[in-house]
Structure formats: structure tokens, C-alpha cells
């Protein structure tokens, strides 16, 4: 069964005012439009276009609750759609954040329940017992992000460059940070010190923001120019925030259109700008690490972070047939499929799915059929078993792994 769904973009302050509307051919609301949610998440469940066609349920959360067998198939025992599909349009940076593993999510959720922390409390870390891995597919020509830790060797080089730029400036705060990073296992200590804040950290943040904005010192090779430019931009958006200095610990990623980034549990990241398709496990568990006025729980952040420096986690798609790309991460929660037009292509389904058309017009067929035009979306029940896509357009399909 193909059931039409729709939703309104979430008006978070960091959102673009035009990007999602221009992509889908919609009229802009006039305010920020940060994320369009397609799923059953209680925060913004997708609305059913024709409730009468499925017994009267007005949104996807209500339909799943009323008929989990039809809507979820083999996932009916959980009564939960395991993924959430979004269009994300960032005009300004989002917070630094990381997400827990499933084990840590279960432990944290149980612990906060036992200690009586209300589910809606601003200082609550775990609002459910699920992990929240995610991927982002770049729709804009560039999608900018911070993702994962650099090596401490690189960080020492960055601090040394800033030190050389500091002619005539008191560098005692920077010397303290250089001393802290001298050990090869210092990364958790550095993040903890910066995240806790205080007068010493404030002095380092102010000095780093100043030095990052200065012209290069003689002999600089330019390898870290983008990192310094990022710190300068963040200092404008979040003056005095320790995340400005933490950003220099992280890899800057510039995705081209059509590239995807996979962020497993524990990977610290922040989206900076751009339009993308985001697919994640349906969870609210976020541990923030800066660039935000919201609650930052430093001990719990350190508990979930993976401090291992790694290569950039760009996710290479499978291409089972012409025009079809399958982005399959290492978790079973979700798979993202992109159909880019051309000859018909078929993809098997092992659970429920959601599809949205971002260009042209595409026919979908399985046990039944539907047509998606630009800006329209459908929920696909598991009994379709497989879908064939055909037409001159672009469709993204989120489904289970």
C-alpha cells in the first residue's frame, strides 16, 4: 500500500528560509525552515493526506499505533518505525553533538527514570532507550560539517601555528592548552577541560578566536586555513563558546552534491551549512558539546564519545542497477536508496519504507502503484515486498536494513 504523507518544516532558528521550499516547489513560510520530518516520531509525525483511505488516522504515529501489523509488518512487535527521514537545510551551524550506543542509551534511560528525571526536563539526556546513528546525503553543491577527531599531532601543529601568529600578544592561556595536549592520550582531558568552561577556558577561547582571524605568519603552508576560518565563523555565531576551540580538534568535511556521510554512535559532529537528506534511527538521545545555549552534561558527553581519530566516514553507495544508489550503513536501523531517473530499477523491501520525490515525476509500483511528483511523499507498507521506480525524476527511499 502506498499512502500519501506530508508535513510542515520545523522552524528552528538555524534553518534556511528558502532551501527546502525551493527544492520541493513549495511556497516558503516566511520564517526559518530547518527540517522536514517524514516519519512517525512524536515530535512531528507526518500527516496522512487522505485519512479516510486508512481508517481515519490523521498522522503516521496514530496509524502505526492503531494498526502495527499493516504498517510495520515484521516490526509490529515494537510498534515503532525504527527510522526517521528528514530534509535538513542549515543556514547557520548546529550544536556540537554525539549520540550513544544502544547499550549506553538503555543504561542512561533506565538511570534517569530511576532517579526521577522528567522525560521533558531540559537537563534530561536520554528520552528513550535507542541509539541514534545517522547519515546525511548532500543535495546542495556543498554541505559543510565537522565530524570526528583529528590526531593530537595535527592539533599540536594547529596550536603551534596560532602561537607563531601571536607576536606581541600574551600567550599564557595558549601555553596552558599546549601543555595539556603534550600527552598522546590527552584528548579526553582536553575536551573535558574545554567543555567545563571557566575563566581559563574563556581566556583561551578569546585568544584562539583572535589569532585564528589574523593573517598567516611567514612560512605557514595553509593546511589548516579552513580550520581557522571555521573557528572565526563560529566565533561570530557563538561568541565565547568553548566549541570554537573544540572545532579545531575536529575534521572539517565539505561534501559535494551526491556524497553521503555516515555518523555512527559516539562520533562528535556538527552540521555547518547546506541542504541534505538526513536519515537516522528514530531517537531523541543527543549529548551536546558546545555551540548551543542548551544543556551540556560534560561527564555523560565524555561517556558516549569515541575519541579514536578516524578517516572521514564518507559512505560509498552500492549501485545494483543503473540509476539506483543504495547507501547501507553498518546498522540495521535504516538504508537510504536514491533513484536518479532513467531505466526502471527494482529494490527489495524488508520492512516499511518512506519515499519522497525531489525532482520531476517517478512511478512506483509493487503489489500496488503510485506516482510521485516533485514535493510529494508516500509511506510504503511492508506488504509491497519490493518496489520498481521508473521515470524522469529523483526519489529518495528510506527503509529498514
pLDDT at 173 exceeding the cut of 90? no
pLDDT for the residue 310: 86
For residues 110-116, average pLDDT: 97
pLDDT at 127 exceeding the cut of 90? yes
Cell of 153: 599531532
pLDDT for the residue 171: 85
Confidence tier at 66 by pLDDT (50, 70, 90): very high
pLDDT at 168 exceeding the cut of 80? no
Provide the angle, in degrees to the nearest 10, between the axes of the packed helices 152-165 and 199-212.
70
For residues 306-327, average pLDDT: 94
pLDDT at 278 exceeding the cut of 90? yes
d(CA 238, CA 236): 6
Dihedral angle at the C-alpha atoms of 49, 54, 56, 60, nearest 10 degrees?
-60
The structural domains of the chain, with segments of one domain joined by +, span 1-10+40-81+317-401, 150-251
pLDDT for the residue 219: 84
pLDDT for the residue 312: 87
d(CA 361, CA 356): 11
Model confidence pLDDT, tens digit, residues 32-46: 999 999 999 999 999
Give exposure, 241-252, as e/b (b: 16+ Cβ within 10 Å): bbbbbbbbbbbb
For residues 75-102, average pLDDT: 95
Which pTM was predicted? 0.95
pLDDT at 172 exceeding the cut of 90? no
pLDDT for the residue 167: 81
197 conformational bin, left if phi > 0, alpha if psi -120 to 50, beta if neither: left
pLDDT for the residue 184: 86
pLDDT at 169 exceeding the cut of 80? no
The closest alpha carbon to 239, from 274, 208, 199, belongs to 208
**What is the average pLDDT value for the chain, to the nearest integer?**
95
pLDDT for the residue 8: 97
More confident position, 364 or 172 = 364
CATH homologous superfamily for 1-10+40-81+317-401? Jelly Rolls (2.60.120.10)
Model confidence pLDDT, tens digit, residues 182-237: 888 899 999 999 999 999 999 999 999 999 999 998 888 899 999 999 999 999 99
The closest alpha carbon to 35, from 276, 291, 282, belongs to 276
For residues 56-79, average pLDDT: 96
Residues known to be catalytic: 288
Amino acid at each position: 500500500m502506498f499512502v500519501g504523507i506530508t508535513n510542515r518544516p520545523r522552524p528552528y532558528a538555524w534553518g534556511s528560509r528558502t532551501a527546502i521550499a525551493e527544492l520541493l516547489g513549495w511556497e516558503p513560510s516566511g520564517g526559518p525552515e530547518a527540517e522536514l520530518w517524514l516519519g512517525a516520531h512524536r515530535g512531528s509525525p507526518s500527516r496522512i493526506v487522505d485519512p479516510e483511505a486508512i481508517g481515519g488516522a490523521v498522522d503516521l504515529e496514530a496509524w502505526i499505533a492503531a494498526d502495527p501489523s499493516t504498517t510495520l509488518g515484521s516490526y509490529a512487535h515494537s510498534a515503532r518505525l525504527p527510522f526517521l527521514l528528514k530534509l535538513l537545510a542549515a543556514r547557520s551551524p548546529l550544536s556540537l553533538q554525539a549520540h550513544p550506543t544502544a547499550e549506553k542509551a538503555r543504561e542512561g534511560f533506565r538511570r534517569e527514570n530511576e532517579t526521577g528525571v522528567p522525560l521533558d526536563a531540559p537537563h534530561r539526556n536520554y528520552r528513550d532507550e535507542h541509539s541514534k546513528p545517522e547519515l546525511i546525503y548532500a543535495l546542495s553543491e556543498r554541505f559543510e560539517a565537522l565530524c570526528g577527531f583529528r590526531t593530537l599531532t595535527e592539533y599540536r601543529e594547529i596550536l603551534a601555528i596560532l602561537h607563531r601568529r601571536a607576536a606581541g600578544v600574551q600567550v599564557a592561556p595558549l601555553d596552558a592548552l599546549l601543555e595539556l595536549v603534550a600527552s598522546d592520550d590527552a584528548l579526553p582531558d582536553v575536551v573535558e577541560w574545554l567543555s567545563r568552561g571557566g575563566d581559563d577556558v574563556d581566556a583561551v577561547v578569546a585568544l584562539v578566536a583572535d589569532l585564528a582571524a589574523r593573517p598567516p605568519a611567514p612560512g605557514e603552508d595553509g593546511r589548516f586555513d579552513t580550520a581557522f576560518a571555521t573557528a572565526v565563523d563560529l566565533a561570530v555565531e557563538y561568541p565565547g563558546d568553548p566549541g570554537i576551540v573544540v572545532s579545531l580538534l575536529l575534521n572539517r568535511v565539505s561534501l559535494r552534491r551526491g556524497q553521503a556521510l555516515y555518523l555512527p554512535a559516539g562520533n562528535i559532529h556538527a552540521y555547518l551549512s547546506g541542504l541534505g537528506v538526513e536519515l537516522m534511527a528514530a531517537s531523541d538521545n543527543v549529548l551536546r558539546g558546545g555551540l548551543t545555549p542548551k544543556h551540556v552534561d560534560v561527564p555523560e558527553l565524555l561517556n558516549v564519545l569515541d575519541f579514536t581519530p578516524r578517516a572521514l566516514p564518507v559512505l560509498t553507495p552500492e549501485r545494483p542497477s543503473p540509476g539506483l544508489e543504495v547507501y547501507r550503513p553498518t546498522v540495521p536501523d535504516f538504508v537510504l536508496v536514491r533513484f536518479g531517473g532513467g531505466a526502471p530499477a527494482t529494490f527489495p523491501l524488508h520492512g516499511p519504507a518512506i519515499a519522497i520525490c525531489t525532482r520531476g515525476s517517478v512511478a512506483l509500483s509493487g503489489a500496488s502503484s503510485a506516482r510521485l511528483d516533485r514535493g510529494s511523499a508516500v509511506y510504503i507498507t511492508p506488504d509491497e515486498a519490493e518496489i520498481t521506480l521508473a521515470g524522469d525524476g529523483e526519489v529518495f527511499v528510506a527503509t529498514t536494513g
